[in-house]
Structure 1
C-alpha cells in the first residue's frame, strides 16, 4: 500500500510538474514576444523631453589639443570608484580610454578618446528588451543595472562598440560612461583636462566653439566638420580631429539615425528565448515514460 501510495503521489507530482512546466514555457515565449515588439517600436521615446537638443548636456573633444596625458582616465576612475587596470579597450572598470593612432610611415598621428557617444537616437536603448538603458531628457544615455538581464544586445547594437560587460563580477552587468550626469561641475574628465582638449557644456554652445576653431584654422581639421553633429543623427560627444575620422576608429555613418541596428537585435530576443523554452519543453517530454505521455 505504501508503494502504491508513493507511486500515485509521484504520478500526480509528475502531472502537475509537466503541466506547470509547459505553462511557464508558453508564458515565457508569449511574454518575451510581447516585450520584443514593444521595445522595437519604442524608438527611444524616453528622450523626447522638453529640453531642446541644443540645450542638452554634451562634451567636445578636440584631438588636436590632446597630448595623451590620460588625466581624464584617472579622473574618471576616481570619480566613479573604478579599479585600476591595464587594458586596450573599454571595460567594466574603464569608461574612457585614450588611444594613439599612428600611420605606418609615422607621418600622421593623433590621440583619440574612447567613451560612450551618447547618441541622440541611441541604438542601445532601442535594443534593450527590459528598458535598462534610457535616453535622458538632459542628453546622457543612462543605465539602470537593477533592470538589466545581461542579454548584451546593447553591445551588438552599438555602432561604436561602447557598452562593456563586467566579467570580473559574479553577476556580470553592462558598464559605460554616463557623462557624469549628476555631477555639479560636469564630467570629471573635462574638469581634469588641463590642455583644453575636453570642454563640457550645452550642445549648441559646444558646436559654436568647434565652428570657431575650424574657421580660425580651416586647414587644421579633417573635412572642416565636427563628428557627431549629424553623424548617425547626432551625438552628445562631439569630436574634432586633424586626421580622417575612420583612422581614429570612428565608423562611417550617414546623417540618418541608427536605431534600426538595435531594433534588429531586439526582434531576435523573443525568438531566441522562446526557442529555448520550446526546446526545454521537448526535452522534458523526451524524458517522460510512455505511461506518463498518456
Structure 2
C-alpha cells in the first residue's frame, strides 16, 4: 500500500471508536462462523425467481462459428469503459476473453470465450455472507460493490474461476461480466459478433437453436450436447464445441446444483482471514459508509485519469 493510500485508510479509521470496532469485529466473527456452517439447503437458496428459467436472459456461444476476431472483447471494453490490457486471464478490466486451444500435433483446435457463466444456482452468490452477489429473476448474476466486504469467498466458490479481484485499486472490488443487464440491445459482445458465434435471447430460445444445430450436424458437436443445459445445475451461458469441453477450459461437473461447490469456500473461511492485518482490513471495509466508498471511488477514478 502506498503512503497516500495508507493515509486515507488511517483517516477513515480514526472515526471508528474502540467500542464500534469491537461491535463490528464481533458481528463479522459471528458472520464468518455462521458462513462456515452453511448447509447444502441454505446454499441452494439463491437460485430461482418469478420468471421461468426458459424465459430468462441468456447467451449462446458456438465455438465452431468463432474465428477469433476478438470483436466481442473490444465491444465489452467499450460498453463497460474498461482499460485496454494484454492478459491471459479475466481481470478487473477484462470481463471476457477469447483463447485458442490447439492440440500438440496441431490436428485439433478451437476458440473459447471465457466469461461469467451466470449459473442458475450460483455458488458465488450463496457463498457471499453479505449478499453482494445476487442471481436476478431475469437471469444475470449481479455484483453490488457497496455491500462487498472483500472476503473473496466468491473467488473460492466459483468452479469456473471467474470473479476477479481488482488489486490495482486502493479499495479493491470484485469485477465480472453482468451480461449487460441494463442494455436494451442485449450483451455488447453478441451484437458485435459478425460471424454469428454469439447469440443473445431467452434461455429457451437459445437451447432450441443449439439443439437444432446439433440435429442438423450429426457428429459435429462434442457428445451432441449443450454445455450449460444441465452442467452444475445449469447456466445462462450455453456453449457448443467440436472438441471436448475440458479442452476449452470447462470443468467436468455433474448435474448437481452449483452451490454444492461453494462448500469449498465456506470451509476455507478460517484460513482466508488468518492474521491481524486481514481481519483489520475486513472490519475497515465493513464500517465504511456509502459516502466514504463513493468518495474513494471518485478519487481512484481521478488518479487513473492522471496516470493515463
The answer to whether the superposition gives a TM-score over 0.5 is yes
What is the alpha-carbon distance in structure 1 between the residues aligned to residue 34 and residue 271 of structure 2?
Answer: 11
CA drift at 1:19: 8.8
What is the alpha-carbon distance in structure 2 between the residues aligned to residue 242 and residue 120 of structure 1?
Answer: 24
What is the alpha-carbon distance in structure 1 between the residues aligned to residue 113 and residue 49 of structure 2?
Answer: 29
Residue 161 of structure 2 is matched in structure 1 by 161
What is the alpha-carbon distance in structure 2 between the residues aligned to residue 213 and residue 174 of structure 1?
Answer: 36
Residue 181 of structure 1 is matched in structure 2 by 181
Query: 244-253 or 38-47, which moves further after superposition?
Result: 38-47
Residue 139 of structure 2 is matched in structure 1 by 139
**C-alpha distance 275-31 of structure 1, shift in aligned 2 (>3 A):** farther
Residue 43 of structure 1 is matched in structure 2 by 43
CA drift at 1:113: 0.2
Question: Are the counterparts in 1 of residues 127 and 265 from structure 2 also a CA contact under 8 Å?
Answer: yes
Question: Are the counterparts in 2 of residues 59 and 237 from structure 1 also a CA contact under 8 Å?
Answer: yes
Residue 285 of structure 1 is matched in structure 2 by none
CA drift at 1:275: 8.2
Name the SS for the 1:43 alignment partner: helix
CA drift at 1:25: 5.2
**C-alpha distance 107-264 of structure 1, shift in aligned 2 (>3 A):** closer
2:205 equivalent to 1:202: no
**C-alpha distance 43-19 of structure 1, shift in aligned 2 (>3 A):** closer
What is the alpha-carbon distance in structure 1 between the residues aligned to residue 201 and residue 186 of structure 2?
Answer: 8
Residue 226 of structure 2 is matched in structure 1 by 226
What is the alpha-carbon distance in structure 2 between the residues aligned to residue 18 and residue 131 of structure 1?
Answer: 27
What is the alpha-carbon distance in structure 2 between the residues aligned to residue 20 and residue 192 of structure 1?
Answer: 50
2:59 equivalent to 1:59: yes
Query: 163-172 or 59-68, which moves further after superposition?
Result: 163-172
**C-alpha distance 272-161 of structure 1, shift in aligned 2 (>3 A):** closer
**C-alpha distance 230-27 of structure 1, shift in aligned 2 (>3 A):** closer
**C-alpha distance 19-166 of structure 1, shift in aligned 2 (>3 A):** closer
Residues 48-90 of structure 1 show CA distances to partners (whole Å, capped at 9, x for unaligned) of 3210100000000000000000000000000000000000000
Gaps of 5+ in 1: 1-16, 281-294
CA drift at 1:153: 1.1
CA drift at 1:165: 0.7
Question: Are the counterparts in 1 of residues 157 and 261 from structure 2 also a CA contact under 8 Å?
Answer: yes
CA drift at 1:256: 1.1
CA drift at 1:237: 0.4
Higher RCO (CA 8 Å, separation ≥ 6 residues): 1
Residues 222-242 of structure 1 show CA distances to partners (whole Å, capped at 9, x for unaligned) of 110000001101000000000
Number of aligned positions between the proteins: 263
Gaps of 5+ in 2: 1-16, 281-308
What is the alpha-carbon distance in structure 2 between the residues aligned to residue 151 and residue 243 of structure 1?
Answer: 36
Question: Are the counterparts in 2 of residues 46 and 137 from structure 1 also a CA contact under 8 Å?
Answer: no
What is the alpha-carbon distance in structure 2 between the residues aligned to residue 107 and residue 186 of structure 1?
Answer: 36
Question: Are the counterparts in 2 of residues 47 and 139 from structure 1 also a CA contact under 8 Å?
Answer: no
**Could you state the TM-score of these two structures normalised by the residue count of structure 2?**
0.78
**Could you state the TM-score of these two structures normalised by the residue count of structure 1?**
0.82
What is the alpha-carbon distance in structure 2 between the residues aligned to residue 81 and residue 255 of structure 1?
Answer: 36
Question: Are the counterparts in 2 of residues 190 and 199 from structure 1 also a CA contact under 8 Å?
Answer: yes
